[in-house]
Amino acid sequence: MNAHAVDAHDDHDHHGPDKGLMRWVRTTNHKDIGTLYLLFSLLMFFVGGAMALVIRAELFQPGLQFVDPNFFNQMTTMHALIMIFGVVMPAFVGLANWMLPIMVGAPDMALPRMNNFSFWILPFAATMLIGTLFVEGGGPAAGWTMYPPLVLQGGKSFPMLIFSVHLLGISSIMGAINIVATIMNLRAPGMTYMKMPLFVWTWFITAYLLIATMPVLAGAVTMLLTDKYFATSFFSAAGGGDPVMFQHIFWFFGHPEVYILILPAFGIVSQIIPTFARKPLFGYASMVYATASIAFLSFIVWAHHMFTVGMPVVGELFFMMATMLIAVPTGVKVFNWVSTMWRGSMTFETPMLFAIGFVIMFTIGGLSGLMLAMTPIDFQYHDTYFVVAHFHYVLVPGAVFSIVAAVYYWLPKWTGHMYDEKLGRLHFWLSTIFVNVLFWPQHYLGLAGMPRRIPDYAVQFADFNMISSIGAFGFGLSQLLFVVVVFKAIRGGQQATDQVWEGAEGLEWTLSSPPPYHSFSVQPEIK
């Protein structure tokens, strides 16, 4: 049976997609699904961002201004859940969908129907999650970490929270399985593992983390559900359980999760910097090993999120040491990026600006993480704004900047049009300035003792909070510029070449801009 016989046998229209809305609902095409993921993520970015602005508006001044404390807590909880599960993860999966098959020279993802399923669960899950805000008692308000016993006091939104987490988990697991299968099975002949682009490598390892940890989260929230409704006592000391047990199980998922949110970012930056430094990536193999080491270590550091719950001292020591070890492979990466730029013929187009911004500001977030890793110091910083500043530095000028960089980098390839470089650079500078105005003062607030997740604060924290809130609104409004740039490029603009960037290397640049609907029907040979 040959390929043509198969095609002739098939009675569907297969020389192009469906027309209209149904194209997007029924599609099995990796580019269509990638686009869906990215647009979904962009929409959720503004939903989650609006929630962040509610938080910052309330914190603009001491005292209660705009919202009542319960709603404030709902906002902190929902903001986190949406940004993690609705924005950063779908954006990375969307980028993987678009780019992995092209980067490894494949015709599509390995399991195209399941690919559609992974995406189309998301809108339902997100609707269920956001719907919690409109039921009796309001949305979940116990923080995205869902610690019992507090979370068990939730109202009618509680089961909605649990099941939306289940749905999001199912979606991620299927997406990750698809990515692993694509990378292991659909690489072009000659593309050995150690010839894969780093974005492919980092996603390969991320997918493994997802498959290993999302089911653990599913188990943890299932136990919450049965504790609340079916009288189990996993997290109740009266029955022999322990609320702290939830924290252990949750963070066994949660810590690998934070690497799920950053490893693909490492991959993106490792693609962009060599292009604009016009030099091959420094230390390719060490990048791969560093990524794998980070992934391995991520499984044995979870309890650094819970140094203050009263663990045995041996445990505290172990988790402190293991956590600080992560600085080694991460440092390798940062030095490799810097060495790649060293004596390169650099130009500073928007993707490069965001990538360099990533390297600097992610490193700042990494260093504050190192401070938090030290148990005795964490006793002081735990649950303060210092923690908020730390993980926002890693996630906003870290993960989000990398996604934005990736969009600018590959947008000409996707749409066939160059984006508006001037507006792009303006977007970078506004974002970079405001993100620091937003999060830098939060370090001081935390060191001075301001607790997180509290709608009101003592007056000595007023100035820094005001600055931070101004930064928040500036940053939020700057992102509208991003939407303008993206949609302008979709609608038209200067025709992009196949190569797009002078220094770009890799299979994605051998295809036309935009690429054909079916990427590599015949696989290229890699030498």
Among 35, 469, 479, 523, the residue binding another protein under the rule CB under 8 A is 523
Active site residue 270: yes
Neighbour tally for 328: CB within 10 Å: 12
Asked if 291 interacts with another protein (CB under 8 A), we say no
Select from 114, 426, 430, 462 the one that contacts another protein (CB under 8 A). 114
145 touches another protein by CB under 8 A: no
Cis, bond preceding 90 (omega within 30 deg of 0): no
**What angle is formed at CA 434 by the lines to CA 429 and CA 435, rounded to 5 degrees?**
100
| Count of CB atoms situated within 10 Å of the CB of 400 | 24
User: Which span sits near another protein by CB under 8 A: 38-46, 165-173, 421-429, 481-489?
Assistant: 165-173
228 is catalytic: no
* Residue 260 found at the interface with another protein (CB under 8 A): no
**Contact call for residue 98 and another protein (CB under 8 A):** no
In the numeric block, which tokens belong to residue 266? 């490492």
- Residue 225 CA to residue 228 CA, distance in Å, equals 5
In the annotation, is 333 catalytic? yes
User: Is 512 or 521 the residue whose CB approaches another protein more closely?
Assistant: 521
Tokens of 429: 């500078």
Degrees (nearest 5) of the Cα angle 275, 89, 365?
70
CA distance 58 to 69: 10
In angstroms, rounded to a whole number, what is the distance separating the alpha carbons of residues 48 and 69? 18
CB of 29 or CB of 469, closer to another protein: 29
Q: Does 133 bind another protein (CB under 8 A)?
A: no
Binding map of another protein across residues 27-46, x = CB under 8 A, - = no contact: xxx-----------------
Active site residue 525: no
Q: CA-to-CA distance for 121 and 169, rounded, in angstroms?
A: 10
Please give the Cα distance from 125 to 85 (Å, whole number).
10
Place of tokens 């992009």: 496
Distance of CA 410 to the CA centre of its chain: 18
Shortest spacing between CB 527 and another protein, in angstroms = 18
Nearer to another protein, 132 or 468 (CB): 132
Q: Among the options 30, 56, 279, 304, which is catalytic? A: 304
- For residue 181, the minimal CB distance to another protein (Å) is 4
Pick between residue 150 and residue 177 the one whose CB is nearest to another protein. Answer: 177
For residue 511, give the nearest of 102, 86, 161, 172 by alpha carbon.
Answer: 102
Whether 305 is a known active-site residue: answer: yes
Q: Determine the Cα–Cα distance for residues 420 and 442; give it in Å rounded to an integer.
A: 33
Minimum distance of another protein from residue 385's CB (angstroms): 31
Residue 249 interacting with another protein (CB under 8 A): yes
Task: Kindly name the residue from 98, 144, 201, 419 that is annotated as catalytic.
Answer: 144
CA angle (263 as vertex; 86, 278 as ends), nearest 5:
115
The residue type of 47 is V
Which residue is associated with the tokens 């719907």?
131
Applying CB under 8 A, the site for another protein has a residue count of: 84
Site for another protein in 169-208 (CB under 8 A): 170, 173, 176-178, 180-182, 184-186
Q: Is the CB of 103 or the CB of 353 nearer to another protein?
A: 103
Contact (Cβ atoms closer than 8 angstroms) between residue 332 and residue 346? no
Binding mask 228-247 for another protein (x = CB under 8 A): -xxxxxx-xxxxxxx-xx--
Taking CB under 8 A as the criterion, which residues in 478-507 touch another protein? none
Three-state DSSP class for residue 309: helix
The span from the CA of 157 to the CA of 145, in Å, is: 15
Per the DSSP assignment, residues forming a β-bridge with 495 are 417
Q: What residues numbered 298-317 form the site for another protein, per CB under 8 A?
A: 312
User: Of the two residues 217 and 372, which places its CB atom closer to another protein in the complex?
Assistant: 217
Minimum Å gap between C-beta 123 and another protein is 8
Instruction: Check binding of 8 to another protein (CB under 8 A).
Output: no
Give the ranges where 186-242 is alpha helix by DSSP (H): 198-229
In the complex with another protein, which residue's Cβ is closer, 9 or 343? 9
By the 8 A CB rule, do 351 and 426 touch?
Answer: no
The whole-angstrom separation of Cα 331 and Cα 187 is 30
Compute the least distance from the CB of residue 384 to another protein, in Å: 26
Determine whether 108 is an active site residue.
yes
Q: Is position 518 an interface residue for another protein (rule: CB under 8 A)?
A: yes
CB 430 within 8 A of CB 397: no
Q: Pick from 39, 211, 371, 490 the residue near another protein by CB under 8 A.
A: 211
Site for another protein (CB under 8 A): which residue of 88, 111, 196, 301?
Answer: 111
Is 149 among the residues that bind another protein (CB under 8 A)?
no
Catalytic (active site) residue 452: yes
| Active-site residue flag, 9 | no
Please say if 171 is a catalytic residue.
yes
Catalytic residues: 79, 108, 144, 171-172, 255, 257, 259, 270, 304-305, 330, 333, 452
